[in-house]
Amino acid sequence: MDDTERLIQLINGGYSCISIVTHEEKEVLEITRQAAMGLRLPMLIWSVGLGVREGLLAESDAVADTGMPAAALCYLGKLENKTLCVTLDIAEHLKDDITRRIFRDTLERMERSDSLLVMIDSKNQLPPVIKSYTLSFNISLPDERDIEKLIVDTLQKIHRKKPIEVGISRKGMEAIISNLRGLTRRQAEQLIRDTVIDDNRFDDEDVNRVIAGKRRMIQSDGLLEFIQTPLDLDEIGGMNNLKKWLKLRKNAFGNDAAGFGLTAPRGILMLGIQGAGKSLCAKAVATAWRQPLLRLDPSVLYNSYIGESENNLRKALKQTEMMAPVILWIDEIEKGFASAASQSTDGGLSKRMFGTLLTWMQDHEMPVFVIATANDVEALPPELLRKGRFDEIFFVGLPDVQARKMIFCIHLKKRSRDPEKFDLEKLVNASNGYSGAEIEQAVLSALYHAYEDNKAELNTEGLIKALKDSPPLSVTMREKVEYLCFWAEGRCVPAD
């Protein structure tokens, strides 16, 4: 069913108050109009700027003295015939005690006349008592067929106003359609207009413009962040077991693999010491598998308004699915759902959020590979560690001798230094207990000192001094690091 059919089904099901929280007001109004016409119902629309007016006509006069929400609600409550009533951004006004009381009285009267109310709001700010009367309705994002039609319709609109040249190949068109997934119809249309406006052309070169534009849109939303992934797995020292695991499953996402009987990998959980390279691995996997990487910071999901946090999570997960195949990196997952592992102090919000995430991880069908990283195992809810949530749980510990040697070589080469000119054996011995991030910082620190010393050449002694001047986490937090390593033994697969 499309959105109009779903809305009609809810209306026929007897729901008298429906809440739609969206920025796509124009699209939702059209869906509501189609539902009203399909049910042969009159339709009225209210907004604080225009008052109550006819909803099925392009132009109509407003009912006198209905601009204020209380007056408009009183008017709607007196309707005698079954009517589909729509309010625009009324949630903010319902914070007022009197208006809220009138709303409840109006809703009761509308139920007697068999009328119904559809509230379209840009923010999820309904008071709890009003929320208890309402059913939430979410509009769907366009699928590939919808997107292709939208592209064609948008190009035709542009061409009627100002001629444009269309010279895109089928392959280019498919790439643009794929990269417009996860956007609303309004966002997709705006992105197409933006790609055409510069040169009055629509061709294969616009693929990169669409990708860049989509990245800007996703980041402006604030829930998901596009991550640039120039890293390659070869740029990460050690982690041989993890690299083998990833290489073995690299080609398991296609139809050929499914035909062979394989199911696409669903995700991994990477536990370990801070700075050991978990975040680097998330970026490197995206590059190795040639898939886009989205970062979800759980802390940004939380909102002071009731229901908005859960809505943010559902929105982020739905958007992720529509952009599949994609890699979703949930960074420091324990910080976002810490209260779910203990006695909740937030009214059960963390537990509800965590339950929503677990259900999605278990049930989602789109090819989304989840990489969750965590530093504090004690803060993780035990349900997350149960087999089946992730394909594998890796422990990223401190790098061994060979890994530290490789890490030094990587960071020296990055800074145009020849590793052969350094005593790597001394550096490896001096860096025992250091993480990859700490080794990198030691290289940078030694470079700063060399530059300050009349741009002296970087040498082994300078690197060793930089290491000694900055004790590693395994020393400053020895007990916690030792406990973490002890806990992981036998419970996780060593990444190296």
- Candidates 421, 330, 414, 406; CA nearest to 368 is 330
What was the pLDDT predicted at 43? 95
CA distances from 419 to 179, 409, 413, 440, 459 (A): 41, 5, 7, 14, 10
What phi, psi does 369 have (nearest 5°)? -100, 120
What was the pLDDT predicted at 97? 94
DSSP label of 208: H
Distance, in Å, from the CA atom of 374 to the CA atom of 491, rounded to the nearest integer, reads 15
What was the pLDDT predicted at 337? 67
State pLDDT tens for residues 35-89. 999 999 999 999 999 999 999 987 788 999 999 999 999 999 999 899 999 999 9
Which one-letter amino acid corresponds to residue 451? Answer: Y
**Looking at the domain that runs over 3-136, which CATH code has it been given?**
3.40.50.300
Domain spans of the chain?
3-136, 144-221, 233-396, 401-476
State pLDDT tens for residues 421-435. 999 999 999 999 998
Residue 206, C-beta contacts closer than 8 angstroms, at least 6 positions apart? 168, 172, 176, 195, 196
pLDDT at position 92 over 80: yes
Q: What angle do CA 471, 473, 474 make, to 5 degrees?
A: 95
From 79-88, 190-199, 270-279, the region with the lowest mean pLDDT: 270-279
What average pLDDT does range 308-316 have in this prediction?
A: 81
With beta carbons less than 8 A apart as the criterion, state whether 110 and 116 touch.
yes
Q: What's the pTM?
A: 0.67
- DSSP helix/strand/coil, 450: helix
Half-sphere exposure of 426 (CA within 13 A, CB side): 14
Distance, in Å, from the CA atom of 303 to the CA atom of 213, rounded to the nearest integer, reads 27
Sequential DSSP letters for 62-110: PPTT--SHHHHHHHHHT--S--EEEEES-GGGGGSHHHHHHHHHHHHHH
Residue 420, C-beta contacts closer than 8 angstroms, at least 6 positions apart? none
Class of domain 401-476: mainly alpha
pLDDT at position 320 over 80: yes
Residue 293, C-beta contacts closer than 8 angstroms, at least 6 positions apart? 226, 227, 229, 282, 283, 285, 286, 326, 327, 329
With a pLDDT cut of 70, the percent of the chain lying above it is 95
What average pLDDT does range 405-413 have in this prediction?
A: 91
**Band (150; pLDDT cuts 50, 70, 90):** very high
Same fold, 144-221 and 401-476: yes
**Beta bridge mates, 383:** none
- DSSP helix/strand/coil, 165: strand
Strands 267-272 and 224-226: unpaired
With beta carbons less than 8 A apart as the criterion, state whether 120 and 20 touch.
yes
With beta carbons less than 8 A apart as the criterion, state whether 394 and 493 touch.
yes
**Omega before 325 within 30 of 0, i.e. cis:** yes
- Candidates 285, 391, 306; CA nearest to 348 is 306
Q: How confident is the prediction for the chain on average, in pLDDT?
A: 86
Domain 144-221 CATH assignment equals 1.10.8: yes
CATH topology for 233-396?
A: Rossmann fold (3.40.50)
CA distances from 409 to 119, 319, 434, 436, 460 (A): 61, 40, 15, 12, 12
**Beta bridge mates, 119:** 19, 87
What average pLDDT does range 341-367 have in this prediction?
A: 74
Residue indicated by tokens 């035709």: 156
From 310-319, 364-373, 392-401, the region with the lowest mean pLDDT: 310-319
- Out of 153-167, 263-277, 329-343, give the one with best mean pLDDT: 153-167
Distance, in Å, from the CA atom of 150 to the CA atom of 138, rounded to the nearest integer, reads 20
Residue indicated by tokens 């006004």: 93
